[in-house]
C-alpha cells in the first residue's frame, strides 16, 4: 500500500502540473531536433542525421524527465518541509517509500520520452520503437530516478541538486552518445563515457530503431547502476532512522 500511496501522490502532482510537465518535456528536445536535425543533414555513413539523433534525444528526455521529477522535489521535502520526519513515524515501510519514488520518476521519464516519439511521427523516419524500447526507456528512467533520490538525500543544502545537475547530468546529456557517436572520442575517454547509463540507453534505442537485434549487456549495466544507487538510497534512509 505504501508504494501505491507514493504513486498516487505522483499522479496528483502530474495531473496538477500536466501542461507544465508536457511543455517542459517538449521544448528543449524540440530545440535539439530542430537545431541539430535541420542543421546537420547526414552522418558519415550517409544515413539521415535525424535517424541518429531521435533515439539519443528520447534517451536524453527520459533521463531529464526522471531525474528532475524526483531530485528537486524530494530535496525540498527533506530539507525545508521536513517531510521525512513524517515518513519515519508513519506505518509505511521505508523501502516502499523509495520504490514508489523510483517508479513514479520512471513513469514521468517514460511519459516524456513517449511525447517526443509522438512529435516525431510526422517526420516519417522509418525508425522502429517497440515494447523493448519502452522497457529500456523505463529502466533508464528508473536509474536516473534512483540517482535523483540519492542526490536529494545526500544534498546538504538547496543548491547541491542544481550543482550536481550542472556538473554531471548536463555533461552526460551532450556527451553520452546522444548528439554524436562516442566512437569519435579519444581512446580511454570513449570507454568511460560509453559505460555511463545514458550512453548505454542511447545505443540500445538506436540499435532497436534501426531494426537490429539488441543484446542484453546494456540492460545488465543499467540494472547494475539501479542496484548500486538503490543501495545508497536505502543506506541513507535506514541510517537516518537509526540515528
Of 134, 143, 127, 142, nearest in space to 195 by CA:
143
CA–CA dist 243, 232 (Å, integer): 17
CB-based contacts of 238: which residues, under 8 Å, 6+ apart?
94
User: Could you tell me the CA-to-CA distances from 59 to 55, 160, 204 in Å, in that order?
Assistant: 6, 24, 9
**Residue 30, CA atoms < 13 Å, CB-side half-sphere:** 10
The predicted pLDDT at position 242 comes to: 43
Q: Give the chain's end-to-end CA distance (angstroms, integer).
A: 26
Per-residue pLDDT of the chain (243 residues; tens, 9 = 90+): 667 777 777 778 777 877 767 776 666 666 566 556 544 545 545 677 788 889 999 999 999 999 988 988 888 777 776 666 676 677 777 788 888 889 999 999 999 999 989 888 887 778 889 999 999 999 999 999 999 999 988 888 777 888 888 888 888 888 888 887 888 778 888 899 999 999 999 999 999 998 888 888 999 999 999 999 999 988 887 776 543
pLDDT of residue 61: 93
The pTM of the full predicted model, rounded to 2 decimals, is 0.81
> Are 82 and 38 a contacting pair, CB within 8 Å?
no
Question: Burial of 20 by CB count in 10 Å (0-12 exposed, 13-18 middle, 19+ buried)?
Answer: exposed
Domain count, the chain: 1
| Contact (CB, 8 A) for 199 and 176 | yes
| Coil, strand or helix at 186 | coil
Give the domain range for residue 199: 2-242
Q: Is 91 helix (H, G, I), strand (E, B) or coil?
A: coil
Amino acid at each position: 500500500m505504501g508504494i501505491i500511496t507514493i504513486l498516487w501522490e505522483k499522479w496528483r502532482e502530474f495531473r496538477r502540473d500536466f501542461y507544465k510537465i508536457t511543455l517542459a518535456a517538449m521544448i528543449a528536445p524540440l530545440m535539439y531536433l530542430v537545431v541539430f536535425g535541420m542543421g546537420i543533414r547526414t552522418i558519415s555513413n550517409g544515413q539521415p542525421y535525424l535517424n541518429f539523433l531521435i533515439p539519443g534525444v528520447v534517451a536524453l528526455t527520459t533521463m531529464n524527465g526522471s531525474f528532475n521529477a524526483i531530485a528537486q522535489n524530494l530535496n525540498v521535502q527533506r530539507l525545508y518541509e521536513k517531510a521525512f520526519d513524517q515518513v519515519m513515524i508513519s506505518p509505511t515501510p521505508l523501502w516502499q517509500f523509495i520504490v514508489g519514488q523510483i517508479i513514479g520518476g520512471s513513469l514521468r521519464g517514460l511519459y516524456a520520452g513517449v511525447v517526443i516519439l509522438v512529435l516525431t511521427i510526422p517526420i516519417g523516419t522509418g525508425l522502429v520503437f517497440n515494447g523493448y524500447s519502452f522497457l529500456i526507456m523505463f529502466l533508464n528512467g528508473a536509474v536516473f530516478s534512483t540517482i535523483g533520490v540519492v542526490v536529494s538525500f545526500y544534498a546538504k543544502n538547496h543548491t547541491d541538486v542544481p550543482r550536481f545537475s550542472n556538473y554531471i547530468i548536463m555533461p552526460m546529456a551532450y556527451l553520452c552518445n546522444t548528439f554524436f557517436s562516442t566512437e569519435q572520442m579519444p581512446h580511454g575517454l570513449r570507454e568511460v563515457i560509453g559505460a555511463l547509463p545514458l550512453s548505454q540507453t542511447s545505443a540500445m534505442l538506436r540499435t532497436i530503431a534501426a531494426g537490429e537485434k539488441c543484446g542484453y549487456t546494456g540492460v545488465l549495466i543499467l540494472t547494475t547502476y539501479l542496484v548500486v544507487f538503490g543501495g545508497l538510497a536505502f543506506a541513507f534512509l535506514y541510517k537516518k532512522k537509526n540515528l
